[in-house]
Amino acid sequence: MIEMSGVCKWFGEFQVLKDINISVATGEKMVVCGPSGSGKSTMIRCINRLETHQKGRIVVDGTELTDDARNIGAVRGEVGMVFQQFNLFPHLTAIENLMLGPVRARKMSRKDARERAEFYLERVHIPEQADKYPGQLSGGQQQRVAIARSLCMEPRIMLFDEPTSALDPEMISEVLDVMTELADSGMTMICVTHEMGFAKRVADTMVFMDAGEIVETADPGTFFGSPRSDRCKRFLQQIL
Ligand code: ADP
Ligand code: MG
């Protein structure tokens, strides 16, 4: 479903991604971790072309990401993304935030979009918050609205970039629970997170990045039980 081969990227003189190779099968869950500044966000942002790469190939569900706007549009339609900052529209209610994409981008009728939005608010367990504005919701509720908003576009792939790192500790599990349910439903996912309990529960593949490189790729048993590189060992000691 997602293939990156030999991907390199520079910000000016600074090489942020160095020969990135990953392969994510349909239904696979990949969890990416690594120190701050190692290139995790940049890597997953390349997958929906929020960032452009300069070398190598990125193929998403059979479509190669090139400068061709049609390819970029096709890939964006299949890939949902959830960020650390929820990026909800503050002047729209929860349900209006969910309806916006289907109505604007998919030309869905407001009635159908509302039904779909209700369905996904139910799925993230906050149907009763539909008519509240983001400012009236807790951080955990806002992040669940953001996840539901992505799901309303019915993506085939979901990318998560540290979705719980801006949350108060008591709200982290309500978001991870929703992500776990999504994983169990068969969604193809790449999650950048340092929530290692979640990683152990859902990951098929663990990736450790450092200084723009993928240092380690392994199944969770091997990754947590016997990491090969010293960099990865040190990192795990710090966060576990
Ligand atoms: P991570 O998500 O692992 O913390 P990022 O992908 O955000 O890492 O950033 C990797 C490196 O690239 C960092 O050194 C960061 O400062 C740099 N960087 C990120 N975005 C930009 C940008 N738009 N311009 C220049 N440098 C950037
Ligand atoms: Mg990041």
45, burial (CB in 10 Å: exposed 0-12, middle 13-18, buried 19+) = middle
Cβ neighbours of 130 (radius 10 Å)? 17
Q: How far apart are CA 217 and CA 206, in angstroms?
A: 6
Question: Ligand 1 pocket by C-beta < 6 Å: which residues?
Answer: 11, 16, 34, 36-42
For residue 239, what pLDDT band results from cuts at 50, 70 and 90?
A: confident
CA–centroid distance, 45 to ligand 2, in Å, is 10
Percent of the chain with pLDDT over 90: 94
Question: Which residue lies with its CA nearest to atom 27 of ligand 1?
Answer: 11
Average pLDDT over residues 213-228: 95
**What would the pLDDT profile of 183-201 be if each residue is shown by its tens digit?**
999 999 999 999 999 999 9
The ligand 1 atom nearest the CA atom of 34 = 3
Average pLDDT over residues 30-50: 97
Question: Which residue lies with its CA nearest to atom 24 of ligand 1?
Answer: 11
Percent of the chain with pLDDT over 70: 100
Average pLDDT over residues 159-180: 96
Question: Which residue lies with its CA nearest to atom 11 of ligand 1?
Answer: 37
pLDDT confidence of residue 91:
98
pTM of the model: 0.96
SS3 166: coil
CA–centroid distance, 170 to ligand 1, in Å, is 29
By C-alpha distance, which of 32, 61, 62 is closest to 45?
32
